[in-house]
A and B are shown apart, each in its own frame.
Chain A
Amino acid sequence: MRYLPLTPDDRAQMLGVIGAPDIDALFVDVPASARRAALFDLPLHAGELEVERELTGLAARNRAAGDGPFFCGAGAYRHHVPASVDHLIQRSEFLTSYTPYQPEIAQGTLQVLFEFQTQVAALTGLDVANASMYDGSTACAEAVMMSQRVTRREKAILSGGLHPHYAAVTQTIAHAEGMTIVRQAAAIDAEADVIAAIDAETACVVVQTPNVFGVVTDVTAIAQAAHAAGALLIVVTTEAVSFGLLKSPGEMGADIAVAEGQSIGNALNYGGPYVGLFTCREALVRQMPGRLCGETVDAQGRRGYVLTLSTREQHIRREKATSNICTNSGLCALAFSIHMSLLGEVGLRQLAALNHSRARELTAALDGVVEVLTPRFFNEIAVRVPPGLAGGDAAALVDELLADGILAGVPYSRLAPGAGMDDVLLLAATETTTTQDIAALAAALKRRLGQ
């Protein structure tokens, strides 16, 4: 077995040093009824070639995003990741190191985390970022629970523009901790309904921009209304590239901003691993979940970095911790940070502008074909599927267009069945979307409409 260095001779000699007659003597504490002498009913070991053959076969049964025109978004976005990003994250010293608990021999990871935190804080326009969460949805749930600790109130209002999965995760996790979660009805411009729901029991308001229908909103007025009621504003972003073009959450008055960072540096990966971004105002830092990296000095006065404010965390505070999170998304955060370093301010702005431009191109191509529902968008739009297309069923239309080799976006009903929006289709365009892709989609739709 190629991953096991001990030889039979090693094993025999080592048992001798231990003073055990055989390996079974080391498992003597296992109750006899639970000791299994026979091998499990699973295949035996396999060589690299055989394993590669099986998994390559499975991979070949999937239609990769890059195989043709592709318009899926809804919380996960296909972007081009520079080759150097994936090369660097496979450096042994990054890939095969543990959480940096011994700072003297983990300065590489720690400096990266410090740089990552600084980048994320800058992008969101807030003061402090943590060293990452699992993904955007769990970061959202953690932000809601943090608002309970900050305000000592129990009610969270989730805008109807929040990604339904994020709302479901928040409802599952924050409700378990005793919060009341108010989910507002889904609507294209749902943010308009938020202010009226804020009251004196409200711990936080959760608003997504661009929202799940792609709508970009200036949430400054919502921030003011929340603050006037003593509540926090949590701004959610599922497309991190949008920070390059749009007003940041901090600029609009957010107290906490959370985002899915997958778009920068990370592949689609069928849903994970991704990287949750979590930032807040400085005054709230001691209620934050997750690891934080901070600057300090060593015994000779040289600058260095350590994990800090650990008294918030489970390994120190146990049941009084701000969160139970331990393992996070370190390597995905590294990929994010490297990609962001390559982009820089100039590149990110260009990338964001290019994404918006492609979405405008898409919108223009669909003009007169389907109704575009999103009034102000970044790189994603919602369109209404007319009765003349797949009976007005967005999911059926997506299935139909597979025959043309097109992955035509995400039907909203996939995210929220039964919401009465079966005719709503979400379409995203990024820098990876070509003019030809857009033309192919428009042509396929027109052909079905007899245009």
Chain B
Amino acid sequence: MTLTSVGRPTRPHPAISEGHASLTGGRGLLQDEPLLFELGGWDKTGVDLPAAEHDASDLGGLLRTTPIGLPGLSEPETLRHYVRLSQMNHAIDLALYPLGSCTMKHNPRLNEKLARLAGFADLHPLQPVSTAQGALELIDRLAHWLKTLTGMPAVAMTPKAGAHGELCGLLTIRAAHEAAGHGHRRRVLVPTSAHGTNPATAAFVGYSVQEIAQTADGRVDLADLAAKLGPDVAAIMVTNPNTCGLFEREVIEIARVAHASGAYFYCDGANFNAIVGRVRPGDLGVDAMHINLHKTFSTPHGGGGPGAGPVVLSAALAPFAPAPWIVHGPAGLTLVEDARDEAAAAFGRMCAFQGQMGMFVRAYAYMRSHGADGLRQVAEDAVLNANYVKARLSAEMTPAFPDGPCMHEALFDDSWLEGCGITTLDFAKAMIDEGFHPMTMYFPLVVHGAMLIEPTETESRRELDRFCDALLALARAAKAGDTERFTGAPYLAPLRRLDETMAARKPKLAWRPEPTTVAPAPLAAE
């Protein structure tokens, strides 16, 4: 055993890694934190409010008669509860977060500060537009950047996330077809490798979905596409760069054959980060594309959202965009909020109000910070980092498409794990013990045991090397037969592997009081 200069072993004592248990459930800095409902008091509150001067007797029988069942915490208890919980999360601020298709990049804190300015955050969506000219100006400038970067003439700003943007795009396409008397076009073609949201969205608008085959080099099979196009096809939905991390070399031809058959080309823009500032989707024949502001333009993902998914549109589709939108008038900027009066073509409304203003502020600040030159560098560094990871990891792992460069994601299959007795999932879980978040697994579906790694441009070479060193060491351990390191992983996370089957078989989706729990007092006292 190697000892340090003070005589301590440089490796953790085997008992620690093999499940040494504390007496209380705490683990060093990690606390065993109960549920709010086990901590809080039914008569406790962390806010001080003045007494109401008028009672609610005027509401009589409309008043709640049963307790709600909400515990409260004082402010110090609240801080403890949530800070302790936070420490059980991985985060981009802790280490590389290589989830393919998710673009987990650094979130600049300037953007957080600006989104909280009272002039943006404390602004009501329905106050007169004359009192919100700065907000409308910001949305308008952001729209200009999005249109310029994509080479598209119009953008619908209101969709609240990528899937919501897809829905907006398909509804726009549907409206355009119906206006042209082509309402019978109700089939959508989607590559096998597509995000699940693509077929789900198509079904959502009442379209049927047919899959397009993929070529051996991970691209859309043009012959299959051409064979499946027909007079009933409304649109094709293609991600580019695609979910294998590859640029669709034949994308212009894909657009041409789709258009020739009367279909529109919807592009899933989830992977726009790879080409921003270098390639304009408008030059590729795209008719509509959503842009995940929370990916390419770095609004924080917040443990699941919120995002924003504006949709850029071609000239043919622009008239059908949903309300509201901004127009320039003699008295400044104004909003067209009622599509019925102003433009009969608009298909409707995606959400109450103007969309994700908080995300618009962050995304615009991000764009202004980078500028035209910085955004181009973003794409280049994102692609460079992915190719670097691909090159380094290829020493032990098998890239799914070894020939030619990848874009911003490096995709591996599990053929290199053959005979090791471990799966992609086991390998990913072992990454957790090394301090990294796993990559996207088992997606895209077209690659067996897929491992999709997206490092993004905000990783330093040092962090990339740390990540590659860890994965290569794990790969060697897997091949050397150190199976338990994987099949039981993670060992060092706050929890070991969770029983997902049990969770789904007997769903427990809310805390319920135990019979012995003291119920909240009835409301009689009020």
| Same complex | yes
> Which chain A positions have C-beta within 8 A of B460?
5-6, 10
Within 8 A of A (CB), among B417-470: 428-429, 432, 437-438, 443, 457-461, 463
Asked if B97 CB lies within 8 Å of chain A CBs, one says yes
Compute how far the CA of A217 lies from the CA of B358 in the bound complex, rounded to whole angstroms.
33
Interface assignment of A187: CB less than 8 Å from any CB of chain B: no
Query: Which chain B residue shows the least CB distance to A300?
Result: B496
**CA–CA, A132 to B265, complex, Å?**
31
A-B contacts, 20 of them at CB < 8 A, read A17-B391, A46-B368, A54-B368, A63-B131, A93-B91, A95-B300, A98-B102, A107-B88, A173-B171, A176-B171, A245-B56, A270-B124, A271-B353, A272-B353, A298-B499, A308-B500, A318-B196, A321-B196, A338-B82, A407-B124
A131: Cβ under 8 A from any B Cβ: yes
Inside 8 A of B70's CB, which chain A residues have their CB?
A: 119, 122-123, 340, 343-345, 348
Known: A28-B405, A100-B304, A270-B124. 11 other contacts (CB 8 A): A3-B106, A13-B461, A29-B404, A35-B278, A61-B134, A76-B125, A92-B86, A111-B85, A338-B78, A344-B42, A417-B338
Chain B residues in 8 Å Cβ range of A295: 503, 508-509
**Is A166 a contact of B352 with CB atoms below 8 Å?**
yes
Q: With A314-B200, A319-B199 as given contacts, are A97 and B301 in contact (CB-CB < 8 Å)?
A: yes
Does B503 lie within 8 Å of A342, measured CB to CB?
Answer: no
**C-beta contact mask, A92-124 vs B, less than 8 Å → 1, else 0?**
111111111111111111011111011101110
B56 touches A31 (CB 8 A): no
Which of A123, A300, A319 is in CB contact (< 8 Å) with B200? A319
Q: What is the CA–CA distance of A44 and B510 in the complex, to the nearest angstrom?
A: 50
A357 to B54, Cβ gap below 8 A?
yes
A192 in contact (CB, < 8 A): no
Q: Would B376 and A58 count as touching, CB distance under 8 A? A: no
Contact of A317 among B52, B200, B283 (CB under 8 A): B200
Contacts of B171 in A (CB 8 A): 172-173, 176
Q: Find out whether the CB atom of A82 lies under 8 angstroms from the CB atom of B75.
A: yes
CA distance A244 to B303 in the complex (A): 28
| A346: interface (CB < 8 Å) | yes
Q: Are B351 and A5 in contact (CB under 8 A)?
A: no
Q: Is the CB of B196 within 8 A of A297?
A: no
Question: Are A356 and B119 CB-contacts (below 8 A) given A96-B300, A100-B304, A134-B306?
Answer: no
Q: Are A268 and B372 in contact (CB under 8 A)?
A: no
B249 located at the interface, meaning its Cβ lies under 8 Å from any Cβ of chain A in the complex: yes
Q: How far is the CB of B314 from chain A (nearest CB, A)?
A: 15
Task: Tell me the bound Cα distance from A450 to B446 in angstroms.
Answer: 75
Complex Cα gap A21–B123 (Å): 51
Give the chain A neighbours of B402 by CB distance below 8 A: none
Name the CB-closest residue of A to B440: A101
- Tell me the B235-293 residues at the A interface (CB within 8 Å): 246-249, 251-252, 275, 277-280, 283-284, 292
- Give Cα distance in the complex from A74 to B127, angstroms: 11
Q: Which of A197-205, A222-230, A327-335, A439-447 contacts B (4 or more CB under 8 A)?
A: A327-335
Asked if A407 meets B148 with Cβ closer than 8 Å, knowing A58-B138, A108-B85, A360-B54, the reply is no
Q: Taking CB as reference atom, which chain A residue is nearest B408?
A: A26
Confirm or deny: A237 has a beta carbon within 8 angstroms of a beta carbon on chain B: no
A294 within 8 A of B: yes
Least CB distance from B144 to A in Å reads: 8
Contact A104 to B498, CB < 8 A, known contacts A3-B370, A91-B82: yes
Mask, B40-67, CB within 8 Å of A = 1, is 1111111101111111101101111111
Complex partner residue of A272 from B75, B359, B504, CB under 8 angstroms = B359
B370–A45 contact, CB under 8 A? Answer: yes
Instruction: Assess the A346–B63 pair: CB atoms within 8 A.
Output: no
Q: Which residue of A lies closest to B46 (CB)?
A: A342
Q: Which chain A residues lie closer than 8 Å to B352 at the CB level?
A: 75, 135-137, 163, 165-166, 169, 260, 271
Is the CB–CB distance between A402 and B128 below 8 Å? yes
B104 within 8 A of A: yes
Is B85 touching A96 in the complex (CB atoms < 8 A)? Answer: no
Interface membership of chain B positions 127-160, coded 1 if the CB is closer than 8 angstroms to chain A and 0 otherwise: 1101111110110000001001100000000001
Say whether B163 contacts A314, CB under 8 Å. yes
Which of A66, A248, A315 contacts B196 (CB under 8 A)?
A315
B200 touches A323 (CB 8 A): yes
Contacts of A75 in B (CB 8 A): 125-126, 352-353
Contact A29 B247, CB 8 Å, known A44-B372, A134-B160, A314-B196:
yes
Judge if A292 is at the interface, Cβ distance under 8 Å. Answer: yes
- B residues within 8 A CB of A270? 120, 123-125, 132, 135, 353-354, 357
Find out whether the CB atom of A65 lies under 8 angstroms from the CB atom of B384: no
Using Cβ atoms and an 8 Å threshold, which residues of chain B touch A321? 196, 200, 203
CB-defined contacts of A272 to chain B, threshold 8 Å:
125, 160, 306, 308, 351, 353-359
Chain A residues near B43 (CB-CB < 8 A): 345-346
CB distance from B243 to the nearest CB of A (A): 12
CA distance A248 to B486 in the complex (A): 49
Q: Which of A44, A294, A319 has the most CB of B within 10 A?
A: A319
Residue pair B503, A407 in contact (C-beta under 8 Å): no
Task: Decide yes or no: A296 and B503 within 8 Å by CB, A44-B371, A66-B122, A117-B510 being known contacts.
Answer: yes
B384 near A14 with CB under 8 A, answer yes
Q: How far is the CA of A323 from the CA of B36 in the complex (A)?
A: 30
Which residues of B have CB within 8 Å of A304? Answer: 495, 498
Q: How far is the CB of A12 from chain B (nearest CB, A)?
A: 10
Min Cβ gap B41→A in Å is 7
Other-chain residue from A35, A246, A353 in contact with B52 (beta carbon distance below 8 A): A353
| Contact status B85-A112, CB under 8 Å | yes
- Is A449's beta carbon under 8 Å from chain B? no
Q: Which residues in B have their C-beta under 8 angstroms from that of A248?
A: 64, 66, 68
**Is A325 an interface position by the 8 A CB rule?**
yes
Q: In the complex the two chains form, is B353's CB within 8 Å of A76's CB?
A: yes
The 3 closest A-B pairs by CB, nearest first: A344-B72, A59-B119, A331-B302
In the complex, how many residues of chain A place their beta carbon closer than 8 angstroms to a beta carbon of chain B?
A: 210
Whether A11 pairs with B305 at a CB distance below 8 angstroms is: no
Q: Does A196 contact B (CB under 8 A)?
A: no
Stretch at the interface among B8-16, B342-350, B471-479: B342-350
User: Which of B71, B87, B107, B116 interacts with A108 by CB under 8 Å?
Assistant: B87
Give, as a whole number of angstroms, the nearest-CB distance from B216 to chain A: 15
Let me know if B19 is at the binding interface, CB within 8 A.
Answer: yes
User: A29: nearest residue on chain B (CB-CB)?
Assistant: B247
Per-residue interface assignment for chain A, residues 161 to 188, with 1 indicating a CB less than 8 Å from any chain B CB and 0 otherwise: 0010110110111011110000000000
- Asked, given contacts A52-B114, A135-B351, A246-B62, whether A343 binds B497 with beta carbons under 8 Å apart, the answer is no
**The residue from A82, A98, A330, A350 contacting B97, defined by CB atoms under 8 A apart:** A98
Q: How far is the CA of A60 from the CA of B441 in the complex (A)?
A: 46
Q: How far is the CA of A325 from the CA of B89 in the complex (A)?
A: 23
B204 in contact with A328 (CB, 8 Å): no
Q: If A4-B377, A45-B370 touch, does A344 touch B41 (CB 8 Å cutoff)?
A: yes
Q: Are B303 and A357 in contact (CB under 8 A)?
A: no
Across the interface, B502 reaches (CB within 8 A) one of A127, A296, A346, namely: A296
Please name all residues of chain A whose beta carbon is closer than 8 Å to the beta carbon of B90 when the two chains form the complex: 93, 97, 102, 105-106
Give B113's nearest chain A residue, CB to CB.
A52
Q: For A172, what are the chain B residues with a Cβ–Cβ distance below 8 Å?
A: 171, 322, 347-350
Q: When the two chains form the complex, which single residue of A26, A40, A78, A267 contacts B383, counting CB atoms closer than 8 Å? A: A26
User: Using Cβ atoms and an 8 Å threshold, which residues of chain B touch A103?
Assistant: 495, 498, 500
B28 at the interface (CB under 8 A from A): no
Bound-state CA distance A418–B337 (Å) is 13
A84 to B78 Cα, complex, angstroms: 8
In the complex, B488 has a CB within 8 A of chain A = yes
How many whole Å from B230's CB to the nearest CB in chain A?
Answer: 19
- CB–CB B104/A98 < 8 A: yes
Q: Cβ of B183 < 8 Å from any Cβ of A?
A: no
Question: Which of B41, B87, B306, B458 has the most A CB atoms < 10 Å from its CB?
Answer: B306
By a CB distance below 8 angstroms, the chain A residues around B229 are: none
Q: Does A25 contact B (CB under 8 A)?
A: yes
Is B485 part of the contact surface with A, judged by Cβ < 8 Å? no
How distant is the Cα of A367 from the Cα of B47 in the complex, in angstroms? 32
Partner of A297, one of B195, B461, B499: B499
